Structure 1
Amino acid sequence: MATLNQRLKSWPGWVLMIVVATTFLVVGATRTSGPQTQADRVDELTQRIACPVCDGESVFESQNNASRALRNQVEDLVRQNELSDAEILNLIDTRNEGDLLLVPESSGLEALVWVLPALVFVVGVAGLAFAFRRWKLEAAGLGDPTEADRDLVDAALADDEDDS
């Protein structure tokens, strides 16, 4: 009965810790830092757009003419202040036939790119924790060997010696 009592006391703490950690991660990932200047918005947006000519560079980093043209488009759209950041990224991506966004969107099917690896990791760690706990409880339930267990081992060893 003591193991059942210990099990009931220990798992809610772990669940609470996971819920708190997940909440902090979600709030931290979705929180904005407040109002931005237009230059900050342009920098942030151009860091999320891939250079159409360079391999692995963002428009923010690249200095070629195609990147400068994209950076100017973003600056114009931000200066007009009619579209949100997501709408600007979507417009730029659509105008350039897609495949320019460095960071997948945080909704729909593309959100799975971000969520699935973390979910698999959490499920794997939880599965290992449950397996280790079960093995520990099974081992504790075996107890010390009895005299009958020792006699059985002695008889098996004697049979093994007779066969050789």
Structure 2
Amino acid sequence: MSGLNKRFKSWPGWVLMLVVVVAFLAVGATRMAGPQTQSDRVDELTQRIACPVCAGESVFVSQNNASRALRNQVEDLVRQNELSDAEILNLIDSRNEGDLLLVPESTGLEALVWVLPALGFVIGVTGLAIAFRRWKIEAAGLGDPTGADRDLVEAALADEPESNS
């Protein structure tokens, strides 16, 4: 009976996890692949380029003259329709001194920016699961208190002087 009880208690969590995974897959599968118009493409690219003058702003948001010039360069390159988005970003980054890309590339050393946090999360959750399982096994091994344990506690409580604070 105990095993059946545990199964009934654990299935709602698994059902909830299944619903969440299916929802994420549905959203990911139906999501648009990229910008539909040239204007959308320019907006997407300028959101990934940092303002060379402003701290922490993208060219898309900044109203600085340097940002406007970069936005115009991106618009011209998109209108020419000869380069891919990655090639446009590399060209803008190479033309200008400094690191203008807000979103790191997903290859090489910069891929670690994407992988390390996820890897740290997985290792942390796995470590907690192992620790909780070990603690549960250790707690199950202790068993219920015996009559001797209860007698020992009662004796300790009887020997304790009463405090009248």
- Normalised TM-score (structure 2): 0.70
Could you give the per-residue CA deviations for residues 65-115 of structure 1, whole angstroms, max 9, x where no partner exists?
Answer: 211111111011101111111110011001113410111112222121122
Which position in structure 2 is the counterpart of 1:60? Answer: 60
Match of 2:39? 39
On the 8 A contact 2:53/2:66 being kept in 1, the answer is yes
Which consecutive residues of structure 1, in runs of 5 or more, have no partner in the other structure? 157-164
Q: Provide the rounded CA distance (Å) in 2 between the counterparts of 1:65 and 1:150.
A: 80
Matched with 1:139 is 139
Q: Which residue of 2 aligns with 1:160?
A: none
Q: Which residue in the other structure is 1:118 paired with?
A: 118
Q: How many residues align?
A: 149
Opposite residue 139 of structure 2, the aligned amino acid is A
Please name the residue that 2:76 is paired with.
76
Does residue 96 of structure 1 match 2:91? no
CA distance, structure 2, for counterparts of residue 150 and residue 115 of structure 1: 53
TM-superposed CA distance for 1:118, in Å, is 2.1
Instruction: Output the CA distance in 1 between the equivalents of 2:100 and 2:40.
Output: 20
Give, in whole Å, the separation in 2 of the partners of 1:35 and 1:116: 29
- C-alpha displacement at 1:149, in angstroms? 6.0
One-letter amino acid matched to 2:126 = A
One-letter amino acid matched to 2:94: T
Deviation at 1:150? Answer: 6.7
Return the TM-score normalized by structure 1: 0.70
User: Identity of paired residues, percent?
Assistant: 87
Q: Secondary structure at the match of 2:59?
A: coil
Unaligned runs of 5+ in 2: 157-165
One-letter amino acid of the structure 2 residue matched with residue 87 of structure 1: E
Rounded Cα–Cα distance in structure 1 between residues aligned with 2:118 and 2:148: 50
- The root-mean-square deviation of aligned C-alpha atoms, in Å, is 3.6
Kindly provide the amino acid, as one letter, of the partner of residue 60 in structure 1: F
Report how far residue 133 of structure 1 moved.
1.5
